A = this chain, B = another copy of it.
Amino acid sequence: MLVERRRSVASQATAILAERIRTQMYPPGARLPSESELAVEMGVSRASIRTALGQLATQGLVLRKQGDGTYVNVHVETVPTSLSGLWNFLRLIEMSGRRPSIEVLAQTVRAASSLEQERLLLPPDGQVFCLQRVFFADDVPVILASNALPLDALRVPPLHCDGHLPIDEFIHCYSGAQIAYDIFDISASLPDVAVRAILRLNEHEPIIALAQVFYDRDNQPLLCGSTSYNDKLLSLRLVQSWS
């Protein structure tokens, strides 16, 4: 392995192994080379390989069996997502086998709603930059996402970044901050008439509503959002690995 600077050896090994699984150099169900062999092949320590395999196991791509070996999960092709990929809606749509696209409905600066004030810890006169987008799968609307950033956290003028970035890069682009964690509620809701129109839903058709807040390492809220997710058209399927 040609070791680059700037990226850890372990994460480079993760990327290489994930690529080999994706291209079916290691097909579903296959046993990977042993940790020692991979370590020698890539010219790194076994600990680094173990870190990489651990990440792949967390994502559900491989299964490790003590005394036996490490195997590619046979369900890798049925496109569940791990929790860490939840917020990348474009990739989610792409993985479902459809063509993703985005339409930006609105980019506005406005007074924060009381809910946003509470979630972003803003004063009563606080302002937010609000971005409202629709995600399409093969030109059918499947997700409506509405995000609000505190206006005084912006380091670039609003409207400068495009809306195609995943949430972590989006936040980093606008405010220079990094996400440490997020907290979100999942609920079932009957959308109001405006949302129904955008997502082309019938009355009494329930959808998933996600309400999320992203925080930085100092527990400061960076962004809050509300997402309407049409689970009938884009299944919300997660994979979870057990220790």
User: Which A residues are within 8 Å of any B CB, using their own CB?
Assistant: 29, 60, 63, 65, 73-75, 78, 80, 83-84, 86, 168, 178-190, 204, 206-209, 215, 217, 219, 231-232, 235-242
Contact B241 A80 (CB under 8 A): no
Count the copies. 2
For A87, the closest partner residue in chain B by CB is B240
CB neighbours of A209 from chain B (8 A): 188
Given contacts A188-B206, A206-B206, contact A29 B219 (CB under 8 A): yes
Contact B217 A65 (CB under 8 A): yes
Given contacts A180-B241, A181-B241, contact A186 B219 (CB under 8 A): no
What are some 18 contacts across the A-B interface (CB < 8 A)?
A29-B219, A65-B217, A73-B219, A75-B215, A78-B183, A86-B240, A181-B240, A181-B241, A185-B235, A186-B208, A186-B236, A187-B231, A187-B232, A187-B235, A188-B209, A190-B204, A190-B206, A204-B204
CB of A107, distance to nearest CB on chain B (Å): 25
CB neighbours of A29 from chain B (8 A): 219
CB of A103, distance to nearest CB on chain B (Å): 23
Neighbour of A185 across the interface among B65, B184, B237, CB < 8 A: B237
For A54, the closest partner residue in chain B by CB is B54
Contact A84 B240 (CB under 8 A): yes
CB neighbours of A219 from chain B (8 A): 29, 63, 73-75
CB of A216, distance to nearest CB on chain B (Å): 9
Contact A186 B238 (CB under 8 A): yes
Given contacts A83-B83, A238-B184, A240-B84, contact A217 B179 (CB under 8 A): no
CB neighbours of A168 from chain B (8 A): 242
Given contacts A217-B63, A217-B65, A242-B168, contact A186 B183 (CB under 8 A): no
Residue picked from A74, A183, A239, most chain B C-beta under 10 Å: A183
For A238, the closest partner residue in chain B by CB is B184
Residue picked from A168, A181, A190, most chain B C-beta under 10 Å: A181
Contact B241 A60 (CB under 8 A): no
Neighbour of A75 across the interface among B183, B217, B237, CB < 8 A: B183
Contact A186 B186 (CB under 8 A): yes
Complex: A60 Cα to B184 Cα, angstroms: 13
CB neighbours of A80 from chain B (8 A): 183
